[in-house]
């Protein structure tokens, strides 16, 4: 019911907004290719019973599963691949200019020293700072029985004269290689001007077999966001949405078939509570104008009524308990308690949800309406964050049969056991002491989230035959996901478990707006947008040149929030700081957008046609600033490839900020306006290349680059 919690379900409240990300986990969704099931089962009432026809007929899907045969639909994300082959693994010189140099260094050094060239190639590393070289070879990694420092000097001396790289230098036990600037500058800039959006992408990475493209692409499922229907998309869902969207973009430009899944909390007793509350507090006009916030208001009001009813029920329960301890007669009190429970809103909600499970069409029609309106609103919010989903589903879709089959398999393979009327998995008996114990089925015969997850993971594998699946879920649920993967393995699906990965993240502290009270994401985005609008108005001349200042301010505000979220490593939490994130000082979202807008301004002021820059004489770029910028631009393909290993948005973001720092120090040295015509054209080619890479990187991060601000 709703989203899974480590300690079981709890009522929704404003306090949740101020909690950690304990409950912000994307649920598993089932494939629309499968028959829509009921979301819960009770072992006591025949879990193997057939699906309710009324419920089956009531459910519909909001998106079809895409064929995944075309290029990605997300604007700005395209890719290219190559049929070239190399004796070196994962080497694509036509896609990655640095691979030209890796190949060259490996062959030259191998021929001069007798060391296997493939061994050298595999150990060449890129550097974090340009002063350390363009590539570096950690000599100890060659595993040659010789003093590493002495061997390093020996290799440097033996490296032959080269047209591409300067004589290497030995730095301790590292052999540093610096590319000769002129050739690199011409190669990189020419490629970027030609390839534009596809520069840096590598469709070969996503092929099942790069030597045989006919075998197709690897399939990736990224499950993320997953809010609860009829409740606001609040700040707690922010990190899962941003990180999940980024990972989907990353794997898309690296050639994978990516399916973005949103598994909504769309089933459970809370919908009975909401429906009954709507009868008392609902307003048709408000529902149509602002569905989610109105439904939330209704939900809060009906929960207040529940709290009022719960107080005397709780008091009577305590009285019954006290009398039982004294062996006194409690029949009258229990009769009074039963009457109170019978008319309580909580019991009414339970009965209403039971009618939904039994297929009552009137109840399901209202549920469908709430679901439809909520998803429409979610889509609007996702669009502001440059997020779209291939599949929307929900808890209501998990098959009874899948959960029952999972339970039966666990029983047959002695994975589960009975304990005080419940069914549990004791991981300590299966060589995983750190995972403790997990309840699979409650005493009353109803399943827990782990059971749903197990049933759903097998359904999804059958429907999609994925090569990899990523769950973008808060670090507070590390244990839950570890238990899920281990149970899947113990059930005999070791391969399936190995294809699943949990990408976790820390929590946000102090999430609020300037008013200090509003917690909903739309309000936060509106607040940062308003603040950026105020900043823009301070420069009236530039403000008047912006075609749509309100929209630009909104983009800047969203960029502020997203960049602050992606600045540090995922697992680290951070303090939500409105003033810091909207500042133009330091490595912030507005500064990144400013860097892109400034490059666009240089293009406009140059008066040059960017489509004619490919004829520029790049030999005129002799300054060190130009060479350093070109060296960094050459690293963009490696940055993307490395990010598929780190799965950290900050890997890309740090690269982009490094580039903007070099840019800001270059403007006074590499002036465009006022330069000689051919020099002007060459420098403009450099700046347009930098703008393109900055644009490409921002799009992978999910940002919308602005041209004026």
Query: Is the CB of residue 248 less than 8 Å from the CB of residue 260?
Result: yes
> How crowded is the C-beta side of 158, counted as CA atoms within 13 Å?
18
Q: How confident is the model at residue 512 (pLDDT cuts 50, 70, 90)?
A: low
Residue 101 has pLDDT above 90, yes or no: yes
- When mean pLDDT is compared across 519-533, 585-599, 648-662, the lowest value belongs to 519-533
Higher pLDDT pick, 141 / 267: 141
Rg over CA atoms, the chain: 30
Residue 384 to residue 381: CA distance in whole angstroms: 5
Residue 51 has pLDDT above 80, yes or no: no
> What single-letter DSSP state applies at residue 430?
G
The reported pLDDT for the residue numbered 451 is 85
Residue 280 to residue 299: CA distance in whole angstroms: 11
The reported pLDDT for the residue numbered 374 is 87
The reported pLDDT for the residue numbered 232 is 74
Residue 635 has pLDDT above 90, yes or no: yes
In 344-431, beta strands by DSSP E: 391-394, 417-419, 422-426
The reported pLDDT for the residue numbered 322 is 87
Residue 579 has pLDDT above 60, yes or no: yes
Is 234 considered catalytic here? yes
Residue 315 has pLDDT above 70, yes or no: yes
Q: Which of 108, 174, 234, 625 is catalytic?
A: 234
Q: How confident is the model at residue 265 (pLDDT cuts 50, 70, 90)?
A: confident
* pLDDT 10s digits, 227-249: 888 777 776 688 999 999 999 99
Residue 382 has pLDDT above 70, yes or no: yes
- Whole-model pTM: value is 0.85
The reported pLDDT for the residue numbered 517 is 52
* pLDDT 10s digits, 367-376: 999 988 888 8
Is 231 considered catalytic here? yes
Higher pLDDT pick, 18 / 239: 239
Q: Which of 27, 108, 174, 237 is catalytic?
A: 237
Q: What average pLDDT does the structure give for the chain?
A: 86
Residue 37 has pLDDT above 60, yes or no: no
Best CA proximity match to 11, nearest among 274, 261, 322, 225:
274
The reported pLDDT for the residue numbered 516 is 52
Is 465 considered catalytic here? no
Q: Which of 217, 231, 480, 681 is catalytic?
A: 231
Residue 29 has pLDDT above 50, yes or no: no
Residue 20 has pLDDT above 80, yes or no: no
* pLDDT 10s digits, 393-430: 888 888 888 988 999 999 999 999 999 999 999 999 99
* pLDDT 10s digits, 557-577: 999 999 999 999 999 998 888
Residue 354 has pLDDT above 60, yes or no: yes
The reported pLDDT for the residue numbered 31 is 30
- When mean pLDDT is compared across 174-188, 479-493, 540-554, the lowest value belongs to 540-554
* pLDDT 10s digits, 435-463: 999 999 888 777 787 888 898 899 999 99
Residue 375, Cβ density class (10 Å: 0-12 exposed, 13-18 middle, ≥19 buried): buried
Residue 264 has pLDDT above 50, yes or no: yes
Residue 404 to residue 382: CA distance in whole angstroms: 35
Query: Is the CB of residue 620 less than 8 Å from the CB of residue 189?
Result: no
């Amino acid at each position: 019911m709703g989203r899974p919690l480590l300690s079981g379900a709890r009522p929704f409240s404003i306090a949740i907004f101020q909690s950690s990300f304990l409950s912000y986990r994307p649920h598993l969704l089932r494939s629309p290719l499968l028959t829509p099931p009921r979301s819960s089962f009770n072992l006591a009432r025949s879990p193997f019973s057939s699906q309710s026809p009324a419920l089956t007929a009531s459910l519909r899907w909001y998106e079809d599963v895409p064929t995944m045969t075309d290029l990605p639909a997300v604007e700005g994300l395209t890719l290219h691949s190559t049929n070239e082959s190399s004796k070196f693994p994962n080497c694509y010189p036509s896609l990655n200019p640095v691979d030209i140099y890796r190949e060259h260094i490996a062959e030259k050094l191998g021929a001069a020293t007798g060391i296997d060239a493939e061994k050298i190639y595999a150990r060449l590393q890129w550097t974090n700072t340009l002063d350390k070289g363009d590539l570096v070879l950690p000599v100890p990694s060659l595993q040659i029985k010789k003093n590493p420092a002495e061997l390093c000097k020996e290799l440097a001396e033996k490296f032959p004269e080269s047209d591409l790289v300067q004589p290497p230098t030995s730095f301790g036990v590292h052999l540093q290689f610096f590319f000769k600037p002129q050739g690199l500058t011409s190669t990189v800039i020419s490629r970027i001007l030609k390839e534009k959006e596809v520069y840096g992408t590598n469709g070969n990475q996503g092929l099942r077999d790069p030597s045989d493209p006919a075998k197709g692409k690897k399939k990736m499922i990224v499950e993320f966001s997953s809010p609860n229907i009829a409740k606001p998309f609040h700040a707690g869902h922010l990190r899962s949405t941003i990180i999940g969207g980024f990972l989907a973009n990353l794997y898309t430009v690296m050639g994978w078939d990516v399916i973005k899944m949103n598994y909504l909390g769309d089933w459970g007793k809370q919908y009975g509570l909401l429906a009954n509350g709507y009868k008392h507090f609902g307003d048709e006009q408000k529902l149509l104008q602002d569905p989610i916030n109105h439904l939330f208001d209704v939900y809060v009001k009906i929960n207040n009524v529940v709290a009022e009813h719960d107080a005397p029920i709780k008091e009577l329960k305590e009285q019954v308990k006290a009398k039982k301890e004294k062996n006194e007669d409690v029949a009258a009190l229990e009769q009074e308690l039963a009457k109170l429970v019978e008319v309580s809103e909580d019991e009414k909600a339970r009965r209403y949800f039971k009618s939904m499970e039994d297929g009552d069409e009137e109840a399901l029609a209202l549920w469908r309406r709430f679901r439809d309106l909520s998803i429409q609103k979610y889509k609007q919010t996702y669009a502001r964050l440059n997020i779209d989903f291939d599949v929307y589903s929900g808890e209501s879709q998990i098959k009874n049969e899948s959960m029952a089959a999972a339970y039966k398999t666990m029983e047959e393979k002695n994975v589960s056991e009975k304990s005080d009327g419940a069914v549990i998995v004791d991981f300590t008996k299966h060589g995983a002491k750190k995972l403790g114990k997990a309840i699979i089925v409650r005493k009353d015969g109803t399943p827990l989230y782990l059971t749903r997850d197990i049933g759903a993971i097998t359904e999804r594998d059958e429907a999609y035959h994925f090569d990899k699946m990523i769950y973008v879920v808060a670090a507070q649920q590390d244990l839950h996901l570890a238990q899920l993967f281990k149970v899947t393995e113990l059930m005999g699906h070791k391969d399936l478990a190995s294809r699943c990965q949990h990408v976790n993240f820390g929590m946000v502290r102090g999430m609020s707006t300037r008013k200090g009270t509003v917690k909903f994401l739309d309000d936060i985005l509106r607040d940062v947008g308003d603040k950026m609008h105020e900043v823009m108005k301070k420069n009236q001349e530039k403000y008047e040149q912006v075609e749509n200042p309100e929209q630009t301010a909104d983009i800047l505000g969203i960029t502020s929030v997203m960049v602050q979220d992606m600045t540090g490593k995922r697992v680290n939490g951070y303090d939500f700081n409105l003033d810091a994130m909207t500042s133009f000082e330091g490595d912030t979202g507005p500064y990144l957008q400013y860097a892109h807008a400034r490059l666009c301004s240089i293009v406009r002021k140059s008066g040059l046609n960017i489509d004619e820059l490919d004829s520029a004489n790049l030999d005129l770029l002799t300054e060190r600033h130009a060479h350093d910028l070109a060296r960094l631009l050459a690293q963009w393909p490696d940055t993307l490839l490395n990010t598929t290993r780190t799965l950290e948005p900050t890997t890309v973001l740090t690269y982009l900020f490094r580039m903007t720092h070099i840019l800001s120090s270059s403007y006074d040295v590499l002036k465009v306006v006022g330069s000689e015509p051919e020099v002007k054209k060459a420098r403009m080619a450099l700046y347009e290349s930098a703008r393109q890479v900055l644009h490409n990187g921002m799009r992978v991060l999910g940002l919308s680059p602005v041209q004026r601000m």
